[in-house]
Structure 1
Amino acid sequence: MIGALLLCVLTSHAAAALQLSGRLEWVRKVELRAVENGVVDDVLVTPGQHVDQGELLVRMDQREAQAGSLEAKAGVARAVIALEDAERELARTQELFDRGLIASEELKDAELLEAAAAAELESAKAKQAAADVLLERTELRAPFDGIIVAKHAYRGAVIYKTLQQQPLIAVAPTSQMLARVLVTSDILRRYRPGQPAKINVRGRVRDGLIYSLGVEAVRIDPEGAVYELDVIFESQPDEILRPSEFVQVTLP
């Protein structure tokens, strides 16, 4: 009697599982564009290539940016010298004031000159930081470990930051993938993000978690509105999984 009851419970639990056909999608795809006008100097990647975080992907012509950085560094050096001169002059003036040889107005003038020199140094440092940012922007680097999804950058191409119809490079992470299924609103209401799920990819079943539930319908069928439900799972770069591959998703 107990065995029959247990079998009934297990059968009921198995029947509650929902198997759906889905397709793979990237968890996210980052599009990299030039943020300043320039000319492409070198492209170091091709579509399908795996890259590490921080790896150089595209280099723009750096000559103008490098000149600006050098000029900014020279401005900092001049400001440092000016501040040192102002500090020496303030020390000399303070000594004369302490000995009663000059009036307090002259000491105040020296203090103002020293403060102005200190401010000029901070301004020069800010200009150097801005110049360094412009130099950094001549290089596009991988924001994370991933795969090159698209490349629209070619050596010698002239890039205008306001006229880029396509990204120079698109990168997607390979450590995780999404399995996307389409469900009706009745099914969607059964689940919450974080619930476990199973994904069958090329005959291999792996564990996943419900990642997101669609908010807007992708289409309206006679049975009702249809929404996207995404399941996230871990993957390996050497698996070479690709978006739009068909998979089977089992929901609890």
Structure 2
Amino acid sequence: MRYWTIAGVLLLLSAQVHAGEPLKGWLEWVHEVEMRVVENGVVDDVLVATGQHVKAGDLLLRMDQREAKALLLEARARVARARVAGEKAQRELARAEELFSRGLIAVEELKDAELAQVAAVAEEEAAKAAEESRSVALERTELRAPFDGIIVARHVWKGAVIYKTLQQEPLIVIAPDDQMLARALVTASVLRSFKPNQPVHVKVNGRVREGRVYSQGVQSVRVELEGAVYYLDIIFDAKPNELLRPSETVQILTP
């Protein structure tokens, strides 16, 4: 949240006295996603820089994967052994059923074969679950872009030792860059003149854009002698390959 001086707030409010005059505001990201790793380890590589545009699924950061890969291979070997044991137990059960039908073994021996087959199936399922868990752990050694966006901040470099319980700040911060917010500080009376999703025009870099009311403040940002002020957010689409930055000044054209 950005804090404004009293003089600045009063200047904004004075500009909003006359209906129809544009509101002075600034740009903000629609939202930011703070990305951290969930396992301890050493950073093997960081593939992005601040200000870089990325696509959904792009690799942003990779931890050292050697241990995770070894544990996954071990889990897969356990699955293979369990599958072999299960097939053997199934064959022994089929043989026991045949011998029992011919009256050559007692019912207890048939039950033992059935229990062995059930145990083998359970072991194979447990092995598969362990393999899936190790596969997820390997995936967690990488950070990938959750959506198309821009790298807002990078706080990590190759070789850094990461402890999941000691990450006081995110390793990478990403924000969507296909939309932006035009934000203004307004009085309650001005806020009431806008409706949710109402079409609103925003003037950015001398060009008028079509937007809509995204959110209207419920709690005041602060209370001044002249009254409380609230956030009014207008969302609009950014142009392809256009670089807009938070805190750039804009005008919101009032109804």
The Cα of 1:213 is off from its aligned counterpart by: 1.0
1:171 aligns with 2:213: no
Tell me which of 131, 142, 146 is aligned to 1:143.
146
The Cα of 1:153 is off from its aligned counterpart by: 1.0
1:185 aligns with 2:188: yes
Runs of 4 or more, structure 1, over 4 Å off, are none
Question: What do the CA deviations read for 1:138-176 (whole angstroms, capped 9, x no partner)?
Answer: 111111111111111111110011111111111111111
1:234 aligns with 2:237: yes
1:108 aligns with 2:111: yes
Aligned pairs for 1:22-171 (under 5 A) are 22-171=25-174
SS in structure 2 at match of 1:211: strand
The Cα of 1:29 is off from its aligned counterpart by: 0.7
AA at the equivalent of 1:46: A
Gaps of 5+ in 1: 1-14
Question: What do the CA deviations read for 1:107-142 (whole angstroms, capped 9, x no partner)?
Answer: 111111111110111100110011011100111111
Q: CA, structure 1 residues 102+218, in 2 after alignment: closer, same or farther (shift >3 Å)?
A: same
Distance 2:125 2:218 in 1: 50
Q: CA, structure 1 residues 97+231, in 2 after alignment: closer, same or farther (shift >3 Å)?
A: same
TM-score by length of 1: 0.92
In structure 1, the partner of 2:219 is 216
Question: What do the CA deviations read for 1:166-219 (whole angstroms, capped 9, x no partner)?
Answer: 111111111110000111112223333211100000011011010011121111
Distance 1:84 1:248 in 2: 72
In structure 2, the partner of 1:244 is 247
AA at the equivalent of 2:206: G
Question: What do the CA deviations read for 1:32-91 (whole angstroms, capped 9, x no partner)?
Answer: 111111000001111111111000011100011011111110110111011001100111
Q: CA, structure 1 residues 18+118, in 2 after alignment: closer, same or farther (shift >3 Å)?
A: farther
Gaps of 5+ in 2: 1-17
1:200 aligns with 2:214: no
SS in structure 2 at match of 1:209: strand
Question: What do the CA deviations read for 1:91-113 (whole angstroms, capped 9, x no partner)?
Answer: 10011111121122211111111
TM-score by length of 2: 0.90
AA at the equivalent of 1:33: R
1:196–1:251 CA contact under 8 A, matched in 2: no
1:55–1:142 CA contact under 8 A, matched in 2: yes
AA at the equivalent of 2:218: V
SS in structure 1 at match of 2:109: helix
1:174–1:237 CA contact under 8 A, matched in 2: no
Tell me the C-alpha RMSD between the 2 structures. Answer: 1.2
AA at the equivalent of 2:219: E
SS in structure 1 at match of 2:39: coil
Distance 2:31 2:239 in 1: 16
Distance 1:199 1:186 in 2: 20
